[in-house]
């Protein structure tokens, strides 16, 4: 098959190549080269090509010599090819054009992708091309596969976020109502039943959070928040909570602490607390008799950043030495009977290891069956303030005067009736006046016509969502000269991007559902503070 371009220039002449010894050597080289060699004149006509053009592109050398090569270029690649041609013709001889890629028509009508290296010598252009069709196709396939994988990851994240929202919304009602009910006068039998419901709700909420964390870790979307924090304030609440749970089971609970393991440090206190809470929760859960010991140590050597060392030791069921590493695999536990006896998915320790490694630390475990376990976490933790300065500042801090009790007036924007009731029950016990509206538009109207000490805003609502309502409230404050009112976003959307969206819209704080009296009151105190 001969294409029209080869016959369209009857006046074209074959340009003879000089018959010298060098030419003979060049002829031999042109015959044996696997790459596509070509010499062309400045007017674009081919002076000489290698025999490999027949193998790769289907054209015998005599079909190309004297013809303009540009007619083989794919139309879409013509503008770039012309620019490359001008570039190589105007460059210095010792400055070749490298790596230009375009498509040329094969004799069978298909197109092959060629990668070029060319430079000018005298009045001719010397070039070599290589067929990279398969390589380019593989690269495009890889790019497409990466795009597909990213799209699948986004779809999974969106699905998990939606499922998290749908699960957390009713779960908020369960946990919140039970928490409020537990604060009322109950018979011992009723208190026991309420406690069982509350524990089951907390377990379910933790499972949802663990699945979200695993998804974010897999997608590389879980980011650390490095900021100064007080070690006592970070670890105190989770240690106290687990102490109460241990004592409820009749277990001893002891905390051993190095004198210098205190002060202000630079790190992600939330993730450190999550690791410690997970390990302590497991220790209490898997221990029936004896107790749990927490050791908090700090190693400081010279000018090196301090290293926080945390040990959680229990007298529980333990595990075989060979199972220590497998414990940190997802959905894995040391013994299948543990799942039947104690429950759990095996996600917690996997998350602990991922978080610890993200923070530049290590985690390991040691145990013997029936003799308990010891989990050790080592984290680099630079001080944010010298310990002497921390102690001096602490001693200079004056005692805060007792605040006069004052009834707060709160605007609650929440479309779910059960979740409305949860907040109302929690705040009623604190003497708070709550004005409730069912969507963002009503919240904006109420805010414009009345005054409140605090706004509690749901994120997903009909008519106007919480983000739009928050932006509108902040704009109203700005245009009216009104002082900003503390605003907390209460949302079943609990992923990091949802918190960021809330803060970007103007919220002071994001409190994820399900909420309890403790989490809500702590959030209100923080927002008002």
14: confidence class by pLDDT, cuts 50, 70, 90: very low
Which residue matches tokens 């540009």? 70
User: 34-43, 112-121, 147-156, 194-203: which has the minimum mean pLDDT?
Assistant: 194-203
What is the pLDDT, as a whole number, of residue 165?
67
Residue 62 vs residue 402, higher pLDDT = 62
CA-nearest of 139, 137, 135, 129 to 35 is: 129
> What is the architecture of the domain spanning 227-396?
2-Layer Sandwich (3.30)
Percent of the chain with pLDDT strictly greater than 70: 83
What is the pLDDT, as a whole number, of residue 496?
67
Q: Are 38 and 127 in contact (CB under 8 A)?
A: yes
Q: Are 115 and 129 in contact (CB under 8 A)?
A: yes
**Is it true that 148-218 and 409-528 share their CATH fold?**
no
Does pTM surpass 0.85? Answer: no
Q: Extract the runs of DSSP E, i.e. beta strands, from 106-206.
A: 111-121, 124-131
Other CB atoms within a 10 A radius of the CB of residue 381 amount to 23
**CATH class of the domain defined by 148-218:** mainly alpha
Domain boundaries, the chain: 4-131, 148-218, 227-396, 409-528
Question: What Å distances lie between residue 494 and 85, 166, 248, CA to CA?
Answer: 57, 11, 30
Question: Does the pLDDT at position 383 exceed 50?
Answer: yes
Angle, helix 417-428 to helix 133-182, in steps of 10 degrees: 50
Q: How far apart are CA 254 and CA 296, in angstroms?
A: 11
Average pLDDT of 201-211? 72
CA-nearest of 83, 94, 84, 79 to 116 is: 84
CATH fold of 409-528 reads Rossmann fold (3.40.50)
Q: Is 153 exposed, middle or buried (0-12, 13-18, 19+ CB in 10 A)?
A: middle
Question: Does the pLDDT at position 20 exceed 60?
Answer: no
**DSSP letters of 16-29?**
PPP-SHHHHHHHHH
Starting from the edge strand earliest in sequence, which strands make up the sheet with 362-367, in order? 252-257, 291-299, 307-314, 373-380, 362-367
Question: Does the pLDDT at position 53 exceed 80?
Answer: yes
Task: Read off the pLDDT of residues 413-461 as tens digits, 9 standing for 90 and up.
Answer: 999 888 888 888 888 878 899 999 999 999 999 999 999 999 999 998 9
What is the pLDDT, as a whole number, of residue 516?
78
**CATH class of the domain defined by 4-131:** alpha beta
């Amino acid at each position: 098959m001969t294409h029209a371009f080869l016959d369209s220039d009857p006046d074209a002449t074959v340009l003879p190549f000089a018959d010298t010894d060098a030419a003979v050597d060049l002829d031999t080289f042109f015959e044996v080269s696997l790459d596509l060699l070509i010499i062309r004149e400045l007017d674009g006509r081919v002076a000489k090509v290698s025999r490999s053009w027949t193998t790769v592109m289907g054209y015998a050398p005599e079909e190309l010599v004297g013809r303009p090569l540009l007619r083989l270029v794919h139309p879409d690649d013509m503008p770039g090819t012309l620019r490359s041609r001008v570039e190589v013709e105007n460059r210095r001889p010792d400055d070749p054009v490298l790596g230009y890629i375009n498509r040329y028509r094969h004799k069978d009508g298909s197109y092959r992708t060629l990668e070029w290296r060319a430079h000018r010598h005298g009045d001719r252009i010397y070039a070599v091309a290589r067929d990279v069709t398969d390589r380019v196709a593989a690269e495009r396939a890889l790019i497409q596969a990466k795009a597909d994988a990213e799209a699948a990851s986004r779809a999974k994240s969106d699905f998990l976020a939606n499922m998290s929202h749908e699960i957390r919304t009713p779960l908020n009602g369960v946990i919140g109502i039970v928490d409020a009910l537990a604060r009322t006068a109950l018979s011992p039998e009723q208190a026991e039943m309420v406690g069982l419901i509350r524990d089951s709700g907390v377990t379910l909420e933790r499972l949802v959070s663990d699945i979200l964390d695993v998804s974010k870790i897999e997608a590389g979307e879980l980011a650390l928040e490095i900021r100064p924090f007080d070690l006592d304030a970070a670890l105190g609440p989770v240690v106290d909570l687990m102490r109460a749970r241990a004592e409820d089971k009749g277990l001893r609970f002891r905390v051993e602490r190095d004198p210098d393991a205190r002060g202000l440090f630079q790190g992600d206190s939330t993730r450190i607390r999550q690791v410690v809470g997970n390990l302590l929760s497991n220790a209490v859960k898997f221990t029936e008799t004896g107790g749990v010991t927490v050791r908090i140590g700090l190693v400081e050597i010279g000018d090196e950043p301090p290293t926080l060392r945390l040990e959680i030791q229990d007298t529980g069921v333990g595990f075989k030495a060979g199972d220590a590493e497998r414990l940190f695999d997802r959905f894995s536990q040391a013994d299948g009977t543990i799942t039947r006896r104690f429950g759990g998915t095996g996600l917690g320790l996997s998350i602990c290891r991922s978080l610890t490694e993200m923070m530049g630390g290590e985690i390991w475990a040691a145990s013997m069956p029936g003799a308990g376990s010891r989990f050790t976490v080592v984290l680099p933790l630079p001080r944010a303030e010298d310990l002497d300065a921390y102690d001096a500042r602490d001693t200079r801090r004056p005692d805060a005067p007792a605040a006069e009790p004052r009834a707060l007036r709160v605007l609650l924007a929440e479309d779910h009736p059960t979740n409305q009731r949860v907040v109302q029950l929690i705040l009623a016990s604190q003497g708070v006046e709550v004005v409730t509206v069912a969507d963002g538009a009503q919240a904006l109207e109420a805010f414009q016509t009345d005054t409140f000490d605090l706004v509690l805003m749901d994120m997903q609502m009909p008519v106007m969502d919480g983000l739009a309502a928050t932006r509108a409230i902040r704009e109203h404050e700005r245009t009216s000269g009104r002082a900003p009112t503390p605003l907390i976003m209460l949302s079943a959307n609990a992923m990091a991007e949802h918190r960021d969206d809330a803060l970007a819209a103007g919220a002071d704080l994001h409190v994820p559902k399900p909420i309890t009296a403790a989490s809500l009151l702590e959030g209100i105190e923080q927002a008002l503070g």
